A and B are shown apart, each in its own frame.
Chain A
Amino acid sequence: MIEQLRQTCRRLLEEAKVNVIIGYGQSSADGPAFPIFITKPEQVDKLVWNDKCYANLTTYLTRNDVKALGKPAIIVKGCDERALVVLQQESQINREALYVIGVACDGVGNPRAAKCLVCDVHRPRFADEVVGDTAATDAGGGRYLELGEFLKKSPAERMTYWMEELSRCVKCYACREVCPLCYCNRCIVDKNRPTVIDTSATLKGNLAWQIVRAFHLAGRCVSCGECVRACPAGINLALLNLTLARAAEEHFQYRAGIDPQKTPIIGSYSLEDKEEFIL
């Protein structure tokens, strides 16, 4: 499998189909995997693929330093690929100027990451080619079980929970920077005319920030779980993203990054949208 992957990449570079491969590297067999950028055919042996390949590499596609390297080929798992679809819908990438190498994925992490247990995109669907195969079967659902459990708490209990979680947020913005869909040139939290969100890492500022972050991903978040993985304080941001993912699915029959043809739910509407809560 890994040989096949390296073959493909070598070919792409040799035939000058692409200028750079965005893939995974590893400094030691048992060490963690990390993103690497391969520009020469002789370097492709640095590429690895295993269950330590957490990172969603699509986040690099919107970065100027990486764009400057020329036409990229990118290695994506099924879940990462959903982000690719959203980036395409939002005209952040030109699919023609991008070579997508899908990897059939059994799941990452040992034990498996939460997202993998409910994964229903083990095989990339829109890749230019898919490498390897997996025996994993796509989950039928269960995406929102954790959320459902959480919502059994009373509103007051939820608020208390979040205050504890958010008290640890230092606003390092790792959640924002790893997110492939947080590609704004200037994040609203970095703006001060006016200051919409306090920059202070106080409960007030942290709550406002996480509300904005989650809401701006409404109908866009593909649950790749990177924000959760990146958070040094282990804050369970997934609950917020899942809330909106579930809302999108329940109210608008929409799942981000699944069907490129569907109109995104923000910036569109239906006359049938429910409104019993409106006075």
Chain B
Amino acid sequence: MARIGVFICWCGENIARTVDVDQVTKEVAEIPGVRCAVNYKYVCSDPGQAMIRDRINADKLQGLVVASCSPHMHLKTFRAAAKAAGLNPYLVEMANIREHCSWVHHNRDEATAKAICLIRMAVGKVLRNRALDPIKVPLTKRALVIGAGVAGIQAALDVADAGFDVVLVERDPSVGGKMAGLSETFPTLDCSQCILTPRMVEVGQHPNITLHSYSEVESVEGYVGNFKVTVRKKARYVDIDKCTGCGDCWNKCPSKRKLSEFDYGLAPRKAIYMPFPQAVPARPVIDREACLHFIRNACGTCKKKCQADAINFADEDKLVTEEVGAVIVAAGYQLYDIAKAQKNPKYSGYGEYGYGQYKDVINSLQFERLVSASGPTGGEIKRPSDGATPKNIVFISCVGSRDNAKGISYCSKICCMYTAKHTMLYKHKVHDGTAHVFYMDIRAGGKNYEEFVRRAIEQDGAQYHRGRVSKITEEDGKLIVRGADTLAGVPVTVEADMVVLAAAMRPSDGVLELAQKLKIGYDEFGFLSESHPKLRPVETNTAGVYICGACQAPKDIPEAVAQASAAAAKVLVMFGKGELTREPEIAQVNEQLCAACYACVRTCPYNAIDKTEIRDRKGNLIKYTARVNPGLCMGCGTCVAVCPSKSVDLEGFSEQQVYEMVKNLI
């Protein structure tokens, strides 16, 4: 006869008030297999746990059922208690007689009867539990960081500084991301590049960091602790080892001028170019589409001019494989496409604001370049159309954000702040000008944020109009902005020289594809999903993959940096251990019985099941079978349901355990 111990908790009055614990104890003691049944005021308390430990030893218990609260509350506690007494923790089950019984039923008899049944079922289950040991998985103490914006840089440096190798992959020719292009940052107005560039340089030079710039993640295989990542290093046509970054090539490049991505189209660039002077690596790249050599094999100036002989027209994409134990995704954001020309109809529109139609209607990031000392105008505010200084400027916030009609219900969070900043920067440069702001609400939660906005309004005299803009038209060189001031209840029309649209933040292109490669979740807007909004904000549901920065949700620089450090910390927690241990409650294939139809392989949400074969010593094939990769299996059991012969089973929720519970529905 089995020796199961049942511990019934009063939870003070929480359970005892509605459930007759003595009655329960009496009846439960009669269940076949139950060796002892006791009740106690607080089983989770220290004395309660001590009691469990004593009973385990005294009665040589082979399994425990604790009838108390939700397993989500205390299963870990009681399994630890069992472990402390030398009983395998996986021989512990709980019957939830609080949340599922005493708290939701008032009739004492009914509640008592139900409690007994729940315990009976739990006893039935635990009789079929098996002793399990945590699964140990080898661990490569090397991290991959995807995206080298401020978040990626921060995460990479934190991990690297802790003494572990980091592989940093950046899609653009240079690290720095969006922040490198910003002018000054709220609420302190310190220069963005001044604070970022040192860190960019550090990343470029750090002995523990391998930087793959102008590269993308091609594919991801493996699982936590053991990822194999293939990185596509896009052809740069410049040998970055030979190149000295002298600049002869791009100075002499004759190609028709293309618009600079870094300046968001406000300035030209050559076919061979360095994105911006402080780029890391400080090496140029050739743009095939613009390069005469590639267009009509007509030119080779850069190659001739390059004394380091670094130009290599024959350059090709290269695939490099990196083995890492953890991945941090910092893929960043892009702006909502406000132009009439719509790349993704779902997330674009606002033709009525004339963006892309009127030269002087620009977006906020373009404005950042206009006011940046390193920008195309050297920091002087000149409007794109004729270079005149705008005397009347209009800022429109919530362009795309908080607008279900345009597909985005969320608030982009940072627009209120940077718009206030923009009005200030404008005022500081154009003293006799007026800045108008059309806004829905001002959201300035954050250290010194509200004060900052006040300053913009009170000291720098920004004209705030609470209302939306309906239309912008151009009449003899002026932009007529028609809106409303809902506070004053009057229509407002501003004759502006320039309009800046605070477009919504969206996850950058390719994040979805990346998420699919990494098998991590994302929400309806394409922002990556954390595994718990409160308690696991930087983890994903795929073990070993972490997220930070604006690819998770709109956020400002300090938040992105904080989250990046958090992600780094999570990785370091993992690397701090010698090897990985994982929950053993996972699927297992009975390889003798498996008929190898591979329905499970098709089904597994984590690609954790492999098609494999069994061979004898001589290598002759005995049979094909499916096999679960314990490093990948998350224990959902979906494979069990699709296996016709139940040749795959799930530890902890095995067929035997579940059916035993059903048998006890009496």
Contact = CB atoms under 8 A, between A and B. Distances in A.
Interface string A182-225: 01111110010111100000000000000000001000000000
Question: Which 10 A-B residue pairings sit nearest by Cβ, starting from the closest?
Answer: A194-B659, A267-B602, A267-B603, A184-B645, A90-B597, A216-B644, A267-B599, A185-B593, A184-B595, A194-B656
B343 to A, nearest CB: 23
Contacts of B597: 90-92, 183
B655 A185 contact: no
B648 to A, nearest CB: 12
A183 B623 CA distance: 14
Given A183-B595, A268-B603, 15 more contacts: A91-B597, A92-B597, A184-B595, A184-B647, A185-B593, A185-B647, A186-B647, A188-B646, A191-B645, A196-B655, A216-B644, A263-B602, A267-B602, A267-B603, A267-B642
Contacts of B123: none
A25 interface: no
19 contacts: A90-B597, A90-B598, A90-B599, A92-B595, A92-B597, A184-B645, A185-B592, A185-B647, A186-B645, A188-B645, A191-B646, A194-B659, A195-B659, A196-B659, A264-B602, A267-B599, A267-B602, A267-B642, A268-B602
B602 A91 contact: no
Interface string A83-103: 000000011100000000000
Interface residue tally on B, bucketed by range: 20 to 34
A145 interface: no
Nearest to A212: B644
B651 interface: no
B514 interface: no
Contacts of A195: 659
Contacts of B594: 185
Contacts of B595: 92, 183-185
A194 B593 contact: no
A266 interface: yes
A264 B599 contact: yes
Nearest to A263: B602
Contacts of A263: 602
Nearest to B644: A216
Interface in A98-116: none
B596 interface: yes
A263 B602 CA distance: 9
Residue with the greatest number of chain A CB neighbours at <10 A, chosen from B644, B647, B660:
B644
Contacts of A264: 599, 602
B214 interface: no
B318 interface: no
Contacts of A183: 595, 597
Interface in B557-614: 592-600, 602-603, 611
B624 interface: yes
Q: Which interface residue of B593, B594, B645, B646 has the most chain A CB atoms within 10 A?
A: B645
Contacts of B656: 193-194
A266 B597 CA distance: 12
Contacts of B600: 267
Contact of B645 (A90, A91, A92, A185): A185
Interface string A111-151: 00000000000000000000000000000000000000000
Contacts of A268: 602-603
State the majority secondary structure of interface residues on A: loop
B641 to A, nearest CB: 9
Contact of B642 (A186, A194, A266): A266
Contacts of A92: 595-597
B461 to A, nearest CB: 52
Contacts of B646: 188, 191, 196
B493 to A, nearest CB: 46
Contact of A91 (B592, B598, B644): B598
Interface in A29-86: none
B596 A91 contact: yes
A111 B596 CA distance: 39
Contacts of B659: 194-196
A156 B87 CA distance: 52
Contacts of A194: 655-656, 659-660
Nearest to B597: A90
A203 to B, nearest CB: 19
B644 A188 contact: yes
A183 B594 CA distance: 11
A98 to B, nearest CB: 16
A185 B596 CA distance: 10
B655 A184 contact: no
Identify the interface centre among A186, A263, A264: most chain B CB within 10 Å of its CB. A186
A268 B655 CA distance: 22
A183 B647 CA distance: 13
A91 B596 CA distance: 7
Contacts of A267: 599-600, 602-603, 642
Contacts of A185: 592-595, 645, 647
Interface in A7-38: none
A183 to B, nearest CB: 6
Of A185, A216, A268, most buried by chain B (CB within 10 Å of CB) is A185
A191 B644 CA distance: 12
A236 B611 CA distance: 37
A127 B593 CA distance: 31
Nearest to A216: B644
A191 B594 CA distance: 13
Contacts of B642: 266-267
A188 B603 CA distance: 19
Contacts of B624: 91
Contacts of B647: 184-186
Nearest to B657: A194
B640 to A, nearest CB: 12
A263 B598 CA distance: 12
A109 to B, nearest CB: 30
A136 B646 CA distance: 42
A146 B354 CA distance: 63
A186 B647 CA distance: 9
Residue from A187, A263, A264 whose CB has the most chain B CB atoms within 10 Å = A264
Nearest to B592: A185
A90 B644 CA distance: 13
A266 B601 CA distance: 11
A36 B624 CA distance: 28
A99 B32 CA distance: 59
Interface string B279-307: 00000000000000000000000000000
A216 B647 CA distance: 14
Contacts of B645: 184-188, 191
Nearest to A194: B659
Contacts of A196: 646, 655, 659
Contact of A186 (B593, B596, B603): B593
Nearest to A268: B602
Interface in A255-279: 263-264, 266-268
A194 B611 CA distance: 26
Nearest to A184: B645
A140 to B, nearest CB: 32
A83 to B, nearest CB: 13
A216 B595 CA distance: 14
A185 B595 CA distance: 6
A195 B662 CA distance: 12
Which of B600, B647, B660 is packed against the most chain A CB atoms within 10 Å?
B647
Contacts of A191: 645-646
Contacts of A193: 655-656
B422 to A, nearest CB: 41
A198 B336 CA distance: 61
A186 B602 CA distance: 21
A92 B602 CA distance: 15
Contacts of B598: 90-91
B603 to A, nearest CB: 4
A186 B593 CA distance: 6
Nearest to A215: B644
A184 B593 CA distance: 8
Contacts of B611: 91
